[in-house]
Amino acid sequence: MLNGGWAGTTLEVDLSTGKIERRELEPALAAGYLGGKGTNARLLWERVPPEVGAFSPENLFIIGAGVLTGTLVPGANRTCITYKSPVTGIHCYSSLGGFFGTELKRAGYDTVVITGKAPSPVYLWIEDDRVAIREAKHLWGKDTRETQEILHRELKTNSSQIMCIGLAGENKVFGASVEHAIGASASRGGSGAVMGDKNLKAVVVSGTRDVRIANPVRLFDLCQHIINRTEKTRKDVFEKTAYAVAQFLLRIGAFGNWAATIPPELQAEINGSGDKLQKFIDRAKGRDVGCANCVLRCRQSYPNADGSHSFFKCQSWNSLMTATQIIDGDFAVAAKNMCEKYGLDVSTMANLIGFATDLYQRGILTREDTDGLHLEPKNAELAFTLIDKIARREGFGDVLANGVYRAAKQIGRGAEEFAYTSKKLEKDVSMNVMQVPRMALITAMNDKGDASRLDNITYSQVFPRSRAEKEAYLKEGWFGYPPEFEKYLLADFEPAAAKDYEWLGQFAAYDLAQYSLADSLGICWYWLQFWRYPAINSRALLADLVATTTGMDIDEAGATEIARRIVNLVRGYNVREGLRRKDDKVPEFAFTRPPPPARPYPILDRALFNKWLDRYYEIEGWTSDGIPTGETLDSLGLDYIRQDLEQRGILATER
């Protein structure tokens, strides 16, 4: 076994039989896939073939901590939850922050693999070597906050870390999330629905062990170097509380996505939203909140009427305000509070509300369809009613509970034209960004239908600057990409032209590998190049952190190979499930609808978009239909995927 980082044990839990088994972590699995996203993806490949559906007892619910999670490394607190998604039908994972992964490692486990279906509601209890499946009938029907409070009381401890589902997960709502602690959640793709299908209400973990480190002195020095680089991001972004995020996201022309119009009075309200929301923040904010071992503290707490607190960052702020056109902090807090308690993905809920309202305004839906509701923007009570109906699968809410893609098919009457999804997953409600060339490509090429796992701020905040500013940026060491990418940064930047985007594919491929690596290490991507001043600004530094923690002989080239192995493993899995080039797309409106005045980009050019896909596939080593070639798979140690795809007739035999 390697010298540090990994706890060394995988916990196997079969809810159907009640069997609990511990397995020693295989050194080859650890060294080849690291942990988190990588290890989870390998396990899903081996044990959840196309014949297994998302709502099958054989579907896995895998909880995997990153190899650096629980160590001294700043921001290394992430846990990946992996499963076949009921929404997309392919590999899906969520990166969970908070404290769960750190506690899991302290309990002595890298990964928890849950299969089967309990005959009645249960929760999984883990305390070091003691593990049990416990009855949870008294928790069924409780919201996520009540569930955590009851478990803490019963276990007589506040130190246990809990992830759980609410009513939405119990009802297998496709947008159901898994909630944990300070507003941390696994939100996209139906993680909560998979837990609910397994009758698994919660997972509770408590541990007392330390995480071993191969070279603690060297690791301390590296971590101090990283911490010393955080001040700029802290001041540039988070000390402004949510002002910068709210103002930026509300002003980009996101309103009117569905109707494609923004009335002048609404645009005026949008333009003043930053000041309005800042006043709310100054009045209502409790404090800044961070996950385990994180000084960035990206979340802010806000009190609810019931005395509890909701925790906000990024999409938590803007999604529901955008969809409802209600630019009001008190509304945002109340709506987010409902979603947290029910266990609902805020982004999916915003999409469903906006989608349904748009169909009603177009006459596709009527009161007969909506249980007598008059669907209109700027109606807070309507939004609360729809959230409640969706969580309970009540009436019209039962239609929406299956997500935009399936709801559109059920509604019919042309509704599918206005169902904006990628790989069947609802998009960011700020959908006009998909007419931005870079956003169009990463929307199409992300590996789970959620472009957030490929996004970063460098392009919008650094690329458009003057050459002198960009040269200073490089000199100060903030550019989080290889030296050969500097030429793209220093070139004349003409985003509206969108004609020569060689750099587009290069950056998208690098980012997917980098974020896949981070999600396997357990490092939050806010510490990487998502922000323009990344504290961890190179893959070489990531490799050094792994080598110092684990004792592995690994450098930048080795880290790159592992990252690309994980990318191609996930792509191979999804290809086996039927994914092809036809699925790597953006909603049709991006090619046909004039963007709002707030966006300088033209209508997306279909021929150029196809060229971007061609170039991206070429960079990754994939065929023109988006299938990894046998040569690519073999070069990354994925010959087992090549053999499987060849046997299924998906990949031509090249030997």
pLDDT in tens, 185-206: 999 899 999 999 999 999 999 9
pTM: 0.95
Confidence grade of residue 439 (pLDDT, cut at 50, 70, 90)? confident
Task: Report how far residue 554's alpha carbon sits from residue 564's, in angstroms, rounded to the nearest whole number.
Answer: 15
pLDDT score, position 261: 66
Between residues 344 and 269, the one the model is more confident about: 344
pLDDT score, position 529: 84
Cα distances (angstroms) measured from residue 252 to each of 261, 271, 377: 13, 10, 19
Question: Average pLDDT, stretch 577-599?
Answer: 85
pLDDT in tens, 324-341: 988 888 999 999 999 999
Reduce the DSSP state of residue 4 to 3 states and report it.
coil
The two beta strands, 9-14 and 111-115, are parallel
Give how far the C-alpha of residue 420 lies from the chain's centroid of Cα atoms, to the nearest Å: 18
Task: Report how far residue 143's alpha carbon sits from residue 590's, in angstroms, rounded to the nearest whole number.
Answer: 38
pLDDT in tens, 332-391: 999 999 999 999 999 999 999 999 999 999 999 999 999 999 999 999 999 999 999 999
Tokens matching residue 69: 């999670």
User: Which run of H or of E encompasses 569?
Assistant: helix 556-576
Name residue 111's beta-bridge partners: 10, 64
- Can you list the pairs that 50-56 forms with residues at least 24 positions away whose Cβ atoms lie under 8 Å? 50/576, 50/577, 50/578, 52/84, 53/84, 54/83, 54/84, 54/85, 54/86, 54/89, 54/190, 54/193, 54/194, 54/197, 55/86, 55/172, 55/193, 55/194, 55/197
Cα distances (angstroms) measured from residue 97 to each of 76, 182, 310: 9, 9, 15
Q: Taking phi first (over 0 means left), then psi (-120 to 50 degrees means alpha), and beta for anything else, what does residue 207 get?
A: beta
Place of tokens 């002002």: 243
Tokens matching residue 492: 């004349």
CA angle 87/249/508 to nearest 5° reads 60
Residues sharing a CB contact under 8 Å with residue 526, sequence separation 6 or more, in sequence order: 75, 233, 296, 298
Confidence grade of residue 250 (pLDDT, cut at 50, 70, 90)? low
Tokens matching residue 246: 């709210």
Handedness of CA 267, 269, 275, 279 (dihedral sign): negative
Cβ atoms of residues 182 and 137 within 8 Å: no
Strands (DSSP E) found in 85-236: 91-96, 111-115, 122-127, 130-135, 161-164, 178-180, 184-186, 200-206
Question: Average pLDDT, stretch 392-420?
Answer: 96
pLDDT score, position 582: 96
Cβ atoms of residues 31 and 576 within 8 Å: no
Tokens matching residue 590: 């991006």
Average pLDDT, the chain: 91
Q: What is the DSSP letter of 431?
A: G
Place of tokens 């939050």: 524
Handedness of CA 502, 505, 506, 507 (dihedral sign): positive
Task: Report how far residue 626's alpha carbon sits from residue 616's, in angstroms, rounded to the nearest whole number.
Answer: 9
Does residue 447 carry a pLDDT above 70? Answer: yes
Residue 410, number of CB atoms within 10 A of its CB: 11
pLDDT in tens, 215-243: 999 999 999 999 999 988 887 777 665 45
Task: Report how far residue 120's alpha carbon sits from residue 137's, in angstroms, rounded to the nearest whole number.
Answer: 7
DSSP per-residue codes, 99-143: THHHHHHHHT-SEEEEES--SS-EEEEEETTEEEEEE-TTTTT--
Q: What is the DSSP letter of 35?
A: S
Tokens matching residue 371: 């249980």
Cβ atoms of residues 489 and 462 within 8 Å: yes
Cα distances (angstroms) measured from residue 558 to each of 100, 336, 352: 29, 42, 43
CA angle 312/346/339 to nearest 5° reads 85
Task: Report how far residue 333's alpha carbon sits from residue 58's, in angstroms, rounded to the nearest whole number.
Answer: 38
Does residue 417 carry a pLDDT above 70? Answer: yes
**CA-closest candidate to residue 431, choices 589, 238, 641:** 589
DSSP per-residue codes, 629-654: PHHHHHHTT-HHHHHHHHHTTSS---
Does residue 498 carry a pLDDT above 80? Answer: no
Q: Which of 74-78, 257-261, 457-461 is least confident?
A: 257-261
Residue 597 buriedness (CB in 10 A; 0-12 / 13-18 / 19+): exposed
Domains of the chain: 9-206 (3.60.9.10), 231-429 (1.10.569.10), 437-647 (1.10.599.10)
pLDDT score, position 318: 80
HSE (CB half, 13 Å, CA atoms) of 96? 35
Confidence grade of residue 551 (pLDDT, cut at 50, 70, 90)? very high
